[in-house]
Structure 1
Amino acid sequence: MRIVIAGGTGFIGERLTDVLIEKGHEVIILTRKEKQPSANKSYVVWLREGATPEKELGKVDLIINLAGVSINDGRWTPKHQKQIYESRMIATDELVRIVKSLTNKPSVLINASAIGIYPASLTVTYTENSHEVATDFLARTVKNWEAKAQQVEQYGIRTAFMRFGVVLGNEGGALPLMVLPYKLFVGGTVGAGNQWVSWVHVTDVVRAIVFAIENPHLNGPVNVTAPHPVTMKEFGKTIGTVLKRPHWLPVPSFAMKLALGEKSQLVLEGQQVLPNKLLSEGFEFAYPELRLALEDLLK
């Protein structure tokens, strides 16, 4: 298949591109900067004045949208929040415009999303059938992001919103920052410790996206989280166990709020989210348990 990826040079996008090429697909990456093509991988300029990517794409079988400023980088100042929000809205609007203008339209849009759409809770378990939507910045971003992407359904295109949990990997995401205190022998429980962490290994994120491509029954919201979420206290203890470091120095909530501002909600609040759609369709996680995931990434 000819697969177009927006955000193909990011933390998840690079891994996904490699896997798709290994499977024999042709990958076209939308980029702001011109780059030289390589085997089964080419680049098309977009989101730049005068760019007309629709004229260069030709036949497209499938589009994957991973574009957007990382929520993990930097403090959530009003400026950074604006960048997080607008980068997703602008990129998705442009993808909808491209799809509208293509003569041969793709059959599928796989759009990144996040479990941050669900309200924080210590007691509720969320699945794809849960309709509760939080009202904070991240939830509003996710809600509007999915709504924009859903516009392509008017062209008969199957859409899947991959609601990522806390993605664990060494090259990006939250894990490097979570691990650092333990490497310095000052790791401990963050906040109350009973908040949920619905995590997922980056390898399983890529595998889930490929599974969604190949499985025509997957559409709408798809929770991309490991089947066994843990509390923040258990998460920290498992890091300590794997690294053979002590788990002893608590990090109070007020300190996290002081250091990170509104972004502190990513670690002080959480949701227990289950990947029911993936499991019901027969998806098997390579890393269903946290310790397995951390041993792979940290050893």
Structure 2
Amino acid sequence: MTYNKIVLAGGNGYLGSVLAAYYQTRAKEVIILSRKAKPADGNIKTLRWDGQTVGEWATRLEDADLLINLCGKNVNCRYTKTNKAAIVESRVVPTQLLGRVIAEMVHPPKLWINVTSATIYRHAEDRPQDEETGEIGYGFSIDVCRQWEETFFDTHTPHTRKIALRMGIVLGRGDGAFPRLLNLVKFGLGGKQGNGEQYVSWVHEQDAAKCTEWLMQREDLAGVINCTAPEPVKNTVFMQAIRDAYGIKLGLPAPAWLLEIGAKVIGTETELILKSRWVLPKRLLDSGYTFIFSKTAHAVHDLLSIRS
């Protein structure tokens, strides 16, 4: 099936590039809304937007099959007062803006997906969290997710279906968590992190893209949907899978106190590593979605099948 138009707001980052490549052969036109305009790459066009004001980009949302909003400052930073404000604003403001623009359209996008985060659920080592029985956690990162989703669903878009896609850790070759974890393995530091009992809810980059097309086709689906592989694993198992795939038997562990020191040095938070995210994609599975990669070992082997 060939789609008319796919729009990626804030699509100049890693996940945006994955989605653009996925839809380049499936849509007549892929439009990326970015802070910097770029020359066209075939049917991929990049338009300038600041995420705060209406511009020429707004007219390009007309008749779109799908709008995916990827806006948001990277949370891989220290949670200072300034960074906290920027993290919230960079998510809420563009969401409000898109809502206002869509509300005034004659032919608005058929589906609007806001890529939010599976970290909205509490630290869970006792049982998995899904869309029906999952419990919302507490703390800054959860507050961000809650405010983000509330803003999204409060926007008035009666002719546009909306889905908050709670994404797990996206595993891919280009950027994100996987290349960093692989580097630890390469240098013999790929052991468990903390006590290693925390769950890692991940999703392969190809499933992150493919499921958005599935959601486009399933017009009965709306609201909150988890986007994580159906078989999350503990950190110990996850790091073991990377070591096995790369061919390194041993990896030095990193206790929590050492991670805290390292986090301060590189300017991040240990929560990103130590929080147990045990999240299941119940609604995707119930709707019949078939994951390309459901097992950690298979996903890691795929990512390492093409490596430098």
Q: Which interval holds the TM-score relative to the shorter structure?
A: over 0.9
TM-score by length of 1: 0.92
Report what 1:92 is aligned to: 95
SS of equivalent to 2:132? coil
Quick check: 1:70 aligned with 2:74?
yes
Distance, in Å, in 1 between the alignment partners of 2:233 and 2:145 is 23
Partner of 1:43: 46
Instruction: Pick which of 224-233 and 250-259 moved more.
Output: 250-259
Task: Say whether the 8 Å CA contact 2:170–2:176 is kept in structure 1.
Answer: yes
- Take 1:172 and 1:83, find their aligned partners in 2: how far apart are those partners? 22
Note the C-alpha offset of 1:220. Answer: 1.1
Alignment partner of 1:272: what SS? coil
Corresponding position: 1:265 with 2:271? yes
Letter in 2 for 1:288: S
Distance (Å, rounded) in 2 between the aligned partners of 1:15 and 1:100: 28
- Does residue 143 in structure 1 map to residue 146 in structure 2? yes
| Aligned counterparts of 2:80 and 2:135: Cα–Cα separation in 1 | 27
Which among 187, 194, 197 is matched to residue 197 of structure 2?
194
Measured after TM superposition, the shift of residue 29 of structure 1 is: 1.7
Q: Could you tell me which residue of structure 1 aligns to residue 301 of structure 2? A: 295
Whole-Å separation in 2 of the counterparts to 1:219 and 1:57: 20
What does the per-residue CA deviation read over 1:156-205, in whole Å, with 9 as the maximum and x for residues that have no partner? 32111111111111212211222222101232110011111111111111
Q: How big is each residue's C-alpha offset from its partner over 1:219-272, in whole Å with a ceiling of 9 and x where there is no partner?
A: 111111111110011111111111111334221111112222572112111121
Residues 168 and 175 in structure 1, CA contact (< 8 A), matched pair in contact too: yes
Q: Who is 1:14 aligned against?
A: 17
Find the aligned partners of 1:175 and 1:128 in 2 and give their Cα distance.
Answer: 26
Select between 279-288 and 127-136 the one with higher mean Cα deviation.
Answer: 127-136
2:128 corresponds to which of 104, 125, 129: 125
CA distance in 2, matches of 1:173, 1:19: 18
Matched residue SS, 2:39 = coil
| Distance in 1 (alpha carbons) for counterparts of 2:179 and 2:78 | 16
Q: Which residue identity does 2:63 align to in structure 1?
A: K
Residue 284 (1) aligns with residue 290 (2): yes
Q: How does 1:116-265 map to 2 (within 5 A)?
A: 116-152=119-155, 154-260=157-263, 263-265=269-271
Q: Distance in 2 between matches of 1:34 and 1:123?
A: 47
Whole-Å separation in 1 of the counterparts to 2:198 and 2:27: 42
Alignment counterpart, residue 63 of structure 2, candidates 59, 62, 68: 59
What pairs with 1:18-37 in structure 2 (closer than 5 Å)?
A: 18-37=21-40
Structure 2 Cα separation of the partners of residues 203 and 56 of structure 1: 26
How much has 1:103 moved relative to structure 2?
A: 2.5
- Determine the C-alpha separation between the residues in 1 that align with 2:110 and 2:53: 28
Residue 75 of structure 2: SS of its match in structure 1?
A: coil
Query: 5+ residue gaps in structure 2?
Result: none
Q: Following the alignment from structure 2 to structure 1, what is the Cα–Cα distance between the partners of residues 252 and 44?
A: 47
Structure 1: tracts of 5 or more residues without a match: none
Provide the rounded CA distance (Å) in 2 between the counterparts of 1:116 and 1:85: 15
Change in 2 beyond 3 A, CA 1:22/1:253? same
Count residues with an aligned counterpart.
298
The letter for the 2-side match of 1:219 is: A
Check whether the contact 2:112–2:163 (CA below 8 A) recurs between aligned residues: yes
Return closer, same or farther for 1:276/1:62 CA change in 2, 3 Å cut-off.
same
CA separation of 1:91 and 1:50: change in aligned 2, threshold 3 A: closer
Q: In the aligned structure 2, how far is the partner of 1:68 from the partner of 1:133?
A: 20
Relative to the length of structure 2, the TM-score reads 0.89
- Distance in 2 between the 1:247 and 1:189 partners? 10
Compute the displacement of 1:15 (Å).
Answer: 1.5
In 1, Cα distance between equivalents of 2:190 and 2:34? 39
Contact 1:32 1:46 in 2 (8 A): yes
8 Å Cα contact 1:204/1:287 also seen in 2: yes
